[in-house]
Amino acid sequence: MLPYKNLIIIKDKSQIPVYKQIAVQFIGLIQEGKLPPGALLPSTRSLAFDLQLHRKTITAAYEVLVSEDWIDNLPRKGYIVSKDLPLVRPKTFRQNRSNSFSGKGVPNFQKLNPVLPHHFKENKGQIIIDDGFPDISLLQAGVISKQFQKSLDYFTYRASLRKPVTEHYNLQTSLCNYLKQTRGFDIETENVFVTRGAQMAIYIAASLIIRPGDKVIVSDPSYFIANAVFEKLGAQLIPVPVDEEGMCTDMIEEILKKNDIRMMYVIPHHHHPTTVTMSVERRKHLLHLINQYDIAVIEDDYDYDFQFKYDPYLPLASDDHGGKIIYIGSLTKVLGTPFRLGYMISTTEFLEEANKMRRMIDIRGDVIIEEAAANLINNGDLTRHIQRSNKIYAQRCDFLSKLLFKELNDSITFTKPSGGMAIWVKFNPEYSLEKIVNKAEKSGLLFYGSVYAKGEKPLNAFRFGFASLPEDELSTAVEILKNSIN
């Protein structure tokens, strides 16, 4: 509802009756387009209260407008602006007038390259291949709704409002205990910093470290959104190849000898996009280099929780590194994309500055989701959900691997991953993935953020996210891909 108290000004000393003043000003609002055809007007009682007038005065004004066909009085609905406005009207009135935000717009603002493809219109029957999202249907609705209800309890909610902004103590404590048990971290609650997804954590951490012109080591290929962040901050990226053992640490050593490196961004576990896990030897070598050259490192461990073997490697950050490694993880990959929850593990001094930066863009965070997530961790529901999801994802990974080998083995190469949510599928050089994707989309197979076939260095490969798709949709997706190749 418009602020009529400020829009309709009554002149007490005017010779024009008050009801006519109101009618004339309503006509002006309609002519200006602030009240478009079909807009609902306030009730006579409501407007009389706002303008501090008698209700009969408002009724008289509305009757004038009705008699002149500016508004209609609809039974059980009230007064609305007429959809068939008077033909006799000022020349300045235009029914299809331009919007206030059309035209040239904001001067000299910075334009950015898109980091994700434009959203497509999803229709029934379409299958989406993402780059590795969880299946949100596996999160039992009763379990999560119970925790949301608990978070909305009056006393719990009131208590959360009394806390200082950006204090997330319950979730920090829960995460601290959880990460000690699952990652082997020797940390305290003060070493845990909660964010809205891992992407926010990457952005905040990098913003505190990188200055324009700094050199940053990244993998080749790498997580393209993180690369976009570093470049936006003015970094010069130095790519290091990835093979079947992960990033080539010998090359990292050579780079460190010859360059002043400000930061490294590494994904040792289920590397994005290739899904490769870094070998033990290279992990040891990388840790040695981090300590020797005293370099800041962001370790992105986005889907550590999903392991198909019983002997996963612990994160780099679980070893001795003197606080140089900033460990970043995500609950979004566990609970589902609607739950924007990430975390950063670092020294208390670094997190104090991270907290200051977060306050500039997100004062309080999402209290309700954070409380619900803390409860899920504390009562064991999160662990049970991960265990259940792991079994299903392992089955889907195995199913898709066999299907790809059977149906597309002559056209692609891939290695079955030991965990995670996606398979890195690389097409042979004679096949254009870009053309295959375009043809597949016409048959109802869509790709979201998973294709690495464009840009300066096209890889002719994509991440086949299997976690979010049941077996029947995986079968259909492979069939469409096969037909698109042919």
Written as tens digits, the pLDDT of the chain (486 aa) is 788 988 999 998 888 999 999 999 999 898 888 898 989 999 999 999 999 999 999 999 999 999 999 999 998 889 999 988 875 444 444 455 556 677 778 888 888 877 766 555 666 668 999 999 999 999 877 778 888 777 777 555 666 555 554 456 789 999 999 999 999 999 999 999 999 999 999 999 999 999 999 999 999 999 999 999 999 999 999 999 999 999 999 999 999 999 999 999 999 999 999 999 999 999 999 999 999 999 999 999 999 999 887 667 899 999 999 999 999 999 999 998 888 999 999 999 999 999 999 988 887 777 888 888 999 999 999 999 999 999 999 999 999 999 999 999 999 999 999 999 999 999 999 999 999 999 999 999 999 888 887 666 788 999 999 999 999 999 999 999 999 997
| List of domains in the chain | 4-81 (1.10.10.10), 127-133+385-485 (3.90.1150.10), 153-380 (3.40.640.10)
371: number of Cβ within 10 Å: 24
How far is residue 246's CA from residue 257's CA, in Å, rounded to a whole number? 20
pLDDT value for 119: 54
DSSP 26-94: HHHHHHTTSS-TTPBPPPHHHHHHHHT--HHHHHHHHHHHHHTTSEEEETTTEEEE-SS--SS--TT--
Burial of residue 321 (number of CB atoms within 10 Å: 0-12, 13-18, 19+): middle
How far is residue 135's CA from residue 153's CA, in Å, rounded to a whole number? 28
Return the DSSP state at 167: -
Cβ contact 370:194 at 8 Å: yes
Please confirm whether the linkage preceding 221 is cis (ω < 30° from 0): yes
Residue with tokens 């940053």: 216
How far is residue 392's CA from residue 134's CA, in Å, rounded to a whole number? 11
Amino acid (1-letter code) at residue 225: I
Q: What is the three-class DSSP state of 283?
A: helix
Among the listed residues 198, 309, 203, 219, the one whose alpha carbon sits nearest the alpha carbon of residue 264: 219
Amino acid (1-letter code) at residue 372: A
pLDDT value for 282: 97
Return the DSSP state at 331: S
How far is residue 437's CA from residue 295's CA, in Å, rounded to a whole number? 40
Cβ contact 216:239 at 8 Å: no
pLDDT value for 227: 95
Cβ contact 166:364 at 8 Å: yes
Four-point Cα dihedral 426, 432, 438, 444, nearest 10: -40
The pTM score is: 0.81
Q: What is the three-class DSSP state of 371?
A: helix
Which residues on neighbouring strands pair with residue 261, listed in sequence order?
215
Q: What is the three-class DSSP state of 289?
A: helix
How far are the Cα atoms of 297, 299, 459 from residue 236, in angstroms, in the given order? Answer: 16, 19, 21
pLDDT value for 384: 93
